[in-house]
Amino acid sequence: MAIPPRLYTQQGIDELISCPTVVSEAPRQDMKLDRGHYRNDMRMRSIDGSSEFRMFMRQNADLAESFSVGLVFVPQDGIGEIVHVRCNGPNGGYNAEFDADHPYWDYHFHRASAAMMEEGPRPERAATPCREYASYNEPVLYLLKATNAKAALPHFAKLAQGVLAFVPEEPTA
């Protein structure tokens, strides 16, 4: 039988975003190439077991600066998943003719709002520029900390330790 849809307040959304979580399905060690983008996924649940979440990590294979790392709430009321937070890279530019204020040209951050849900558009539609990250690796760690998913940090040891993207070389001198 269908569960009646839940009503969301901003406080409720904020609490869900920041509730401490544990990893229920670990991410892969490395991103996997899948039809034009690299991807990784992880599942989490709140410590009290009442809420489930998904974290997605995506990076465009052609345009590395185009990435998105997000936290998705997986409710059980049948209305479908809700993207709570999404950290994006700069996606090209803005057009002052119609879109001068959109932070799409810069690293930006989407966060779900109850007002937006009430109004009708996607909860996370609004976005603001973000200076907390400037490459793909950083928003993963940023999001884990911002969403209180610190228990997941050991699964991203390579990112956390800042492993260099090239083969280390022995000193020759």
Partner 1 sequence: MTGLHILNQQFNGRMAIRVRRPGVTQLLAPLFHEDGDMVDIFVDEPINDSGTVRISDHGSTLMRLSYTYDLDTENRQRIFNRILSENRIQEQDGRQFIDTEPGRLYPAMLQIAQAVAKVSSMQYYKREVIKNLFYEQLTEFIEAQLARYNPRKRT
Binding site for partner 1 (CB under 8 A): 1-2, 34-37, 39, 56, 58, 60-63, 66, 68, 70, 72, 78-81, 83, 86, 88, 91-99, 102, 104, 110, 121-122, 124-127
- Minimum distance from CB of 60 to partner 1 (Å)? 6
Q: What is the 3-state secondary structure (H, E, C) of 31-65?
A: CEEECCEEEEEEEEEECCCCCEEEEEEEEECCCCC
The smaller minimum CB distance to partner 1, of residues 75 and 153, is found at: 75
Whole-number minimum distance, CB 28 to partner 1, in Å? 14
Q: Which is nearer to partner 1, 55 or 152 (CB)?
A: 55
Closest to partner 1 by CB, 45 or 125: 125
The Cα–Cα gap between 63 and 37 comes to 9
Q: How far is the CB of 54 from partner 1 (least distance, A)?
A: 9
Nearest to 87 by CA among 113, 55, 41: 55
Minimum CB separation of residue 47 from partner 1 in Å reads 25
